[in-house]
Structure 1
Amino acid sequence: MLTILIGLIIGIGLPMQTSINSRLKVSVGSPFVASLISFSLGTLFLALITLLIDKSLLFPLNLFGKEPFWLWIGGLLGVIYLTSNILLFPKLGSVQTVIMPILGQIIMGLIIDNFGLFGSLVQPLNWSRIVGAILVVIGVIGAVSINQIIVYRHKKFVPEKSNNLWFYRLIGIVMGMFSATQTAINGHLGIVLNSSVKAAFVSFFVGTISLIIIVTIIHPNLSFQKNKDTPWWIWLGGFIGALFVLGNVYLVPKIGTGLAVVIVLVGLIVGSLLIDQFGWFNSTKNPITFAQIMSLLIMIFGVIIIRLL
């Protein structure tokens, strides 16, 4: 029960982080710079937590030779996933940019569990897990697409016309698979380092270094002037992201990658609906519909099937 609660809480925090970072992007003028600030603050936060709990940020250097190379790329995969969403949005539009990666996350989560990839728990694929995953996908499509379609039709928003639509959809699915892979890698890293907080710190640190390189290339003459209207909460995204990674590092060894991904997705949808309902973080209010509530219940039923059957 505790693991499910943790998964839901960090999932609820994820759309809040997205909303906060979107507002930060407005202040700094670049999504990459906003991501760098968010990652940097998250890294500092996790460094402090690691020092308080483990008394040290260091670990045996011989692990680089003993452990597979993929153990250290979780943070890089996170940056790739984040960047891909920015680039896919004008090609696919809001709805598909959400749904395609989620589909990839669920598919990869089930594959990882079935074969025990990246040190994850082996949980053989069966019909109950497949049916549960399908119900979650149906719930996601219902919860996300209904309001988004109404909003963007009202604003007359349409994605860029492209002859390679299925190519970009495939990219979205693959990026979602990268995200699930990151979850599994970070979970195994926590076991290797014998510390969930140190594993989360390493992942964020790698992501921060990656973003420093990207921002240096894209914005070599970067300057930042804080806007007087900038709200205080735009600096909280990194802390929420840090807790999200830390929560996943804790969950994966206990319940497996597939179930961790699915539970977090339920929390993500709940958080998104709450933001829409109350207009948090200066977002536009979009009252929750009955169809969205039913879609959420379908997702929860899917999780129950995966968890209990």
Structure 2
Amino acid sequence: MFFLLFALLIGIGVPVQTAVNSRLRSYVLSPFVASLISFTVGMTFLGIATLLTKGTLLFPASLVTEEPAWLWIGGLLGVIGLTGNILLFPKLGGVQTVLLPIMGQIIASMLIDTFGLFNSLQQPFTLMRGVGVLILVVGLICIVVLPDVLNRRKRGMPAETQGSKLPFQLFGILAGMMMATQAPINGHLGSVLHSPIHAAFISFTVGMIILLLIVTLGLRKLPNVKLAFGQGRPWWILTGGLIGSIFVLGMATLVPIVGTGLVVIVGLFGQILCSMMIDQFGLLGAKKTSVTGIQLLGILLMIIGVILIEVF
């Protein structure tokens, strides 16, 4: 139960990180520059934590010569997941930008658990776990999709009729799958290094290097970093990386213990719960939006789904 509560808490931090990084983006004028700053802050925090716990940032040569190459892609997957939502929002709108990556995370986490991919804890996909996943999906639809549909009907607004969104929708699902895949990769890396903190540091370092190359060589927007500092910039816009590092560290710690699927799903529940609280009370500058009865039903369904997945 303690591990599930921990997963819930780190999930709660994700919407806060999204809100913070969105505010940061408004100052630096680029999602990639905002991600670069976020990854750099997280890497610095994790580097200090690694030095305090292990006394070194170095890793054994066997990590390169004997371990699988996929150990190094956790940071790349994190970059895609972090910037994906910002890039998709103008194309898909808020509802699909939230729902599709979550669907991707659920799909990937179940596949990883069922087949024991990336040396993760294998858990057979039973009939009851399948029912639990279906109930989770229905709960997500109640929370994310139905309120928007009902609101449009109430106001007599037509459905969105933009051009083909299929490529962006597929990318949204793929981005979610990559975020879920990052968890067992960093979890295995933490087991090899005997330190999930060190594993999270390496993941953030890889992500930071990738973003630095994109911002410097691809976009040539490195000078935009200075726009995050100065008069009128709240100090908390730099805390997104700290929150993100705690999330990655928590996932790397929990996945080897309880499995990818359950950690991802409980974390998603925390994300949705926190997002609804932000809307309900207008926190972090968000527009105040009351939680509806259909969303409360969705939360109940998600709880039932998590119980079925955990017990069966």
**TM-score for both structures, normalised by structure 1:** 0.93
Kindly provide the CA deviation profile for residues 181-213 of structure 1, in whole angstroms up to 9, marking residues without a partner as x: 111111111111111101111111111111101
Task: Determine if contact 2:147/2:294 at 8 Å carries over to the other structure.
Answer: no
Query: Hey, what's the Cα distance between the residues in 2 that align with 1:173 and 1:227?
Result: 37
Instruction: State yes or no: 1:306 paired with 2:303.
Output: no
Instruction: State yes or no: 1:292 paired with 2:300.
Output: no
What is the aligned partner in structure 2 of residue 20 from structure 1?
Answer: 20
| Residue 228 of structure 1: how far off its partner (Å) | 3.0
Task: Determine if contact 2:33/2:221 at 8 Å carries over to the other structure.
Answer: no
Matches within 5 A, 1:189-200: 189-200=189-200
What is the letter of the counterpart of residue 218 of structure 1? L
Identify if the C-alpha distance between structure 1 residues 203 and 25 changes in structure 2 by more than 3 Å, giving closer, same or farther. same
Task: Determine if contact 1:90/1:159 at 8 Å carries over to the other structure.
Answer: no
Instruction: State yes or no: 1:82 paired with 2:82.
Output: yes
Instruction: State yes or no: 1:249 paired with 2:252.
Output: yes
What is the aligned partner in structure 2 of residue 9 from structure 1?
Answer: 9
Task: Determine if contact 1:147/1:286 at 8 Å carries over to the other structure.
Answer: no
| Residue 87 of structure 1: how far off its partner (Å) | 2.6
**What is the percentage of aligned positions where both structures have the same residue?**
51
Greater CA drift, 120-129 or 213-222: 213-222
Query: Hey, what's the Cα distance between the residues in 2 that align with 1:152 and 1:239?
Result: 38
Query: Hey, what's the Cα distance between the residues in 2 that align with 1:244 and 1:266?
Result: 14
What is the aligned partner in structure 2 of residue 272 from structure 1?
Answer: 275
Matches within 5 A, 1:126-145: 126-145=126-145
Query: Hey, what's the Cα distance between the residues in 1 that align with 2:171 and 2:222?
Result: 31
For residue 289 of structure 2, give the secondary structure of its aligned residue in structure 1. coil
What is the aligned partner in structure 1 of residue 178 from structure 2?
Answer: 178
| Residue 294 of structure 1: how far off its partner (Å) | 1.5
The root-mean-square deviation of aligned C-alpha atoms, in Å, is 2.1
| Residue 81 of structure 1: how far off its partner (Å) | 2.1
Query: Hey, what's the Cα distance between the residues in 2 that align with 1:51 and 1:160?
Result: 53
What is the aligned partner in structure 2 of residue 219 from structure 1?
Answer: 220
Query: Hey, what's the Cα distance between the residues in 2 that align with 1:140 and 1:301?
Result: 12
Matches within 5 A, 1:66-77: 66-77=66-77
Query: Hey, what's the Cα distance between the residues in 2 that align with 1:53 and 1:66?
Result: 24
What is the aligned partner in structure 2 of residue 204 from structure 1?
Answer: 204
| Residue 91 of structure 1: how far off its partner (Å) | 2.4
Query: Hey, what's the Cα distance between the residues in 1 that align with 2:39 and 2:200?
Result: 12
What is the aligned partner in structure 2 of residue 42 from structure 1?
Answer: 42
What is the letter of the counterpart of residue 208 of structure 2? T
What is the letter of the counterpart of residue 62 of structure 1? S
What is the aligned partner in structure 2 of residue 162 from structure 1?
Answer: 163
For residue 222 of structure 1, give the secondary structure of its aligned residue in structure 2. helix
| Residue 249 of structure 1: how far off its partner (Å) | 0.4
Instruction: State yes or no: 1:102 paired with 2:102.
Output: yes
Task: Determine if contact 1:50/1:201 at 8 Å carries over to the other structure.
Answer: yes
Query: Hey, what's the Cα distance between the residues in 2 that align with 1:229 and 1:158?
Result: 40
Identify if the C-alpha distance between structure 1 residues 73 and 152 changes in structure 2 by more than 3 Å, giving closer, same or farther. farther
For residue 162 of structure 1, give the secondary structure of its aligned residue in structure 2. coil
Identify if the C-alpha distance between structure 1 residues 247 and 148 changes in structure 2 by more than 3 Å, giving closer, same or farther. farther
| Residue 51 of structure 1: how far off its partner (Å) | 1.2
Identify if the C-alpha distance between structure 1 residues 26 and 159 changes in structure 2 by more than 3 Å, giving closer, same or farther. farther
Identify if the C-alpha distance between structure 1 residues 150 and 20 changes in structure 2 by more than 3 Å, giving closer, same or farther. farther
| Residue 302 of structure 1: how far off its partner (Å) | 0.5
Query: Hey, what's the Cα distance between the residues in 2 that align with 1:130 and 1:198?
Result: 35
What is the aligned partner in structure 2 of residue 228 from structure 1?
Answer: 231
Instruction: State yes or no: 1:260 paired with 2:263.
Output: yes
Kindly provide the CA deviation profile for residues 220-277 of structure 1, in whole angstroms up to 9, marking residues without a partner as x: 4624233533222211111100000001001100111111111100000111011111
Gaps of 5+ in 1: none
| Residue 119 of structure 1: how far off its partner (Å) | 0.8
Task: Determine if contact 2:109/2:180 at 8 Å carries over to the other structure.
Answer: yes
Identify if the C-alpha distance between structure 1 residues 26 and 167 changes in structure 2 by more than 3 Å, giving closer, same or farther. closer
Aligned length: 307
Query: Hey, what's the Cα distance between the residues in 2 that align with 1:152 and 1:50?
Result: 50
| Residue 219 of structure 1: how far off its partner (Å) | 2.6
